[in-house]
Structure 1
Amino acid sequence: MRYIASILASAMSLAAPLAAATAAPAAIKIAVFPFELEDFSAGAASIPPDEIDREQLRLATEEARRLIAQSGRYLLVDVGAVNEPTAKAGKLRDCDGCDAKIAAGLGADQSMIAIVSRITRTEYAVTYKIRDARSGALVDVKQTDLRMGANVAWSRGARWLIERRLLE
C-alpha cells in the first residue's frame, strides 16, 4: 500500500508543473473608456450631439464592457474617477494615445477607446483602439463596416465589433 501511495505522490508531483503550464493565462486588465462620437455628417455644424446621442453612446459603452468582462480574457479597470480634462470632454481620440497613460495610472495593462463615426444621420461606423498602457503602442485597431441605422443601432455595432473582432 505504501508503494502505491509513493507512486501516486510521484505522479502528482510530476503532473503539477504540467497543469500549471496549461492553465489559462491571467486576465488582461483593461481600461475601457466611454465611447466617443465623431460627427462627419452634413448636419454636424448645425445639429450638435444631444441627450439621445449621449444615451446611445452610454449604451454602446455598457454593451462593450459587458461582453469584454464576460469573456474572462479581460478584467475591467474602473475609469469612473478619471479627472483628466481630455477624457471628461470625450476627446481621447484626439490626444495621440494619452488614454494609455491614464490607464497605466489606474493600474491597467491596456486602454481601449472607441469612436462612433457618424457619416450621415443614418450611417455610422464603430472603431476601437487598444493600446499597451506602459508603452502607449497600439495593440489592436478594428472598425466595423456596418453602415446602417441611426444612433439607436450604435450598441449593435459595438456588439458586432467586440464579438467578431476583439473576442473572435
Structure 2
Amino acid sequence: MRICTLTVLTTLLLGTCIFAHAQQTTPMSVEVFPFELEDKSAGAGIIPPDEHDRRYLSESAQVAKDMLARSGRFTVIDAPASDVQAAAPHGLRNCSGCEGKIAKQHGASLALLGVVTRVNRTEHTMFIRILDAETGKPVSVGFTDLRMGANYAWPRSVKWLMTNRILR
C-alpha cells in the first residue's frame, strides 16, 4: 500500500511540475506601442522633433520588441499607428492607461508604452510601462535617468531598462 501511495504522489507531483512548466513557457502577447517623446527642454515648442528624433524613437521601440521576443516569454504585436493616433491624439502617455484597452482590442494580453523625456539636448530620462490589457494594472515598470547622451542614446537606455527592470 505504501509503494502505491508513493507512486501516486510521485505521479501527481511530476504531472504538476510538467503542467507548471508548460504554463510558464507559453508566451504572452504584448503590443508594443511607438515610443513617445516628451520634450521638457528649453527648446521645446521652438525646435520640433526632427528625423533623428523619430529615428531614435523608432529604434528604441524596436530594441524593446527584439528583447521581448528574444526572451521567449512574449509574442510581440505591432500597434497600428492610426489606432494610436485616433485613441490618443495627445499621446498615450496622456490618456490614463488607454494603451491597455487598445492592446486588448488587438488581441494582446499586455501593452508596452515607452516615453523619452528630453531634459535638454544631451540629457534624457526614460520610462517604460507594461500594463495588463484586461485590468489596466501595471505588470512591470522601469524608469531611468541615465542622462547620458542625446537622442542617439535612447536605444541604449531601452536596453538598460529592459535588462535591469522590465525583463528581470
Q: TM tier, shorter chain?
A: 0.7 to 0.9
How much is the aligned-residue C-alpha RMSD, in angstroms? 2.2
| 3-state secondary structure, aligned to 1:75 | strand
Specify whether residues 98 and 55 from structure 1 end up closer, same or farther in structure 2 by C-alpha distance, changes over 3 A only.
same
| 3-state secondary structure, aligned to 2:142 | strand
| 3-state secondary structure, aligned to 2:78 | coil
TM-score (ref. length: structure 2): 0.85
**CA distance in 2 between partners of 1:50 and 1:88 (Å):** 21
- The superposition leaves residues 117-157 of structure 1 with CA deviations (integer Å, 9 ceiling, x where unpaired) of 00010000110111110121222221012101010010000
In structure 2, give the amino acid aligned to 1:72: G
Specify whether residues 105 and 147 from structure 1 end up closer, same or farther in structure 2 by C-alpha distance, changes over 3 A only.
same
Tell me, yes or no, if the aligned pair for 1:86 and 1:95 is still in contact at 8 Å.
no
Specify whether residues 44 and 77 from structure 1 end up closer, same or farther in structure 2 by C-alpha distance, changes over 3 A only.
same
Q: What is aligned with 1:42?
A: 42
- The superposition leaves residues 73-117 of structure 1 with CA deviations (integer Å, 9 ceiling, x where unpaired) of 111123236524356757111111110110000111111100000
**CA distance in 2 between partners of 1:65 and 1:90 (Å):** 23
Specify whether residues 98 and 18 from structure 1 end up closer, same or farther in structure 2 by C-alpha distance, changes over 3 A only.
closer
Give the aligned length: 158
Tell me, yes or no, if the aligned pair for 1:33 and 1:112 is still in contact at 8 Å.
yes
| 3-state secondary structure, aligned to 1:77 | strand
In structure 2, give the amino acid aligned to 1:112: L
TM-score (ref. length: structure 1): 0.85
- 2:140 pairs with 1:151: no
Which range moved further: 140-149 or 118-127? 140-149
Tell me, yes or no, if the aligned pair for 2:141 and 2:166 is still in contact at 8 Å.
no
Tell me, yes or no, if the aligned pair for 2:84 and 2:92 is still in contact at 8 Å.
no
What fraction of aligned residue pairs are identical, expressed as a percent?
Answer: 42
**CA distance in 2 between partners of 1:88 and 1:50 (Å):** 21
More helix per residue: 1 or 2?
2
Return 5+ residue gaps in structure 2 as ranges.
Answer: 1-6
Q: What is aligned with 2:19?
A: 20
**CA distance in 2 between partners of 1:82 and 1:136 (Å):** 21
Return 5+ residue gaps in structure 1 as ranges.
Answer: 1-9
